[in-house]
């Protein structure tokens, strides 16, 4: 629902790796600019091939560490899956998120403890936990953590 809103045009998927969720989001929302941030060249090259094969702009694959991303790159929504604890990904995400943007993190076990450990980082960047959505699929429990 959040991504579908017209006010959000640019999305960055930090640590895209195999392309989930970034490639899937680009397929579902072809009118959005989904940038895949991947610091490992081999993975970034693979993602460029996937984007090109699907007819998307492979220039939206940035082979760079998040903390080295140019200040000119700011995004409406920043996603992360499997990149690290909430404290770390909130800090990375806040650095590339536009004002009034959103962070969406895919998390599994231990989320409550991670949120507790991230309180000072969230406060430092003026972020707040907006919602935690429980997702259970095929017996696997996951959470979507929405931060604004």
3-state secondary structure the chain: CCCCCCCCCEEEEECCCCCCCHHHHHHHCCCCEEEEECCCHHHHHHHHHHHHHCCCCHHHEECCCHHHCCCCCCEEEEEEECCCCHHHHHHHHHHHEEEEEEEEEEECCCHHHHHHHCHHHHHHCCCCEEEEEEEEECCEEEEEEEEC
Q: Residue 145: what pLDDT? A: 95
Q: CA 7, CA 72: separation in Å to the nearest integer?
A: 19
In terms of Cβ atoms closer than 10 Å to its own Cβ (0-12, 13-18, 19+), residue 144 is middle
pLDDT, tens digit only, all 148 positions of the chain: 777 777 899 999 999 999 999 999 999 999 999 999 999 999 999 999 999 999 999 999 999 999 898 778 899 999 999 899 999 999 999 999 999 999 999 998 789 999 999 999 999 999 999 999 998 888 888 999 999 9
Nearest to 103 by CA among 131, 62, 84: 131
Q: Residue 38: what pLDDT? A: 97
Q: Residue 89: what pLDDT? A: 96
Q: Is the dihedral of CA 56, 57, 63, 65 positive or negative?
A: negative
Q: For residue 28, how many other CB atoms are within 10 A of its CB?
A: 12
Q: CA 135, CA 129: separation in Å to the nearest integer?
A: 17
Q: Residue 140: what pLDDT? A: 87
> At residue 102, what are phi and psi to the nearest 5 degrees?
-135, 150
């Amino acid at each position: 629902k959040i991504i579908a809103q017209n006010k959000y045009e640019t999305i960055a998927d930090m640590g895209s790796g195999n392309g989930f969720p970034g490639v899937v989001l680009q397929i579902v929302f072809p009118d959005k600019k989904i940038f895949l941030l991947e610091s490992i060249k081999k993975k970034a090259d693979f993602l460029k091939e996937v984007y090109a094969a699907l007819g998307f702009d492979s220039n939206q694959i940035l082979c760079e560490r998040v903390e080295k991303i140019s200040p000119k790159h700011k995004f409406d929504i920043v996603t992360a899956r499997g990149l690290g604890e909430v404290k770390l990904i909130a800090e990375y995400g806040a650095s590339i998120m536009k004002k009034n943007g959103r962070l969406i993190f895919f998390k599994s076990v231990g989320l409550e403890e991670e949120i507790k450990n991230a309180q000072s980082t969230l406060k430092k960047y003026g972020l707040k936990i907006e919602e935690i959505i429980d997702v259970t699929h095929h017996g696997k429990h996951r959470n979507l953590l929405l931060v604004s």
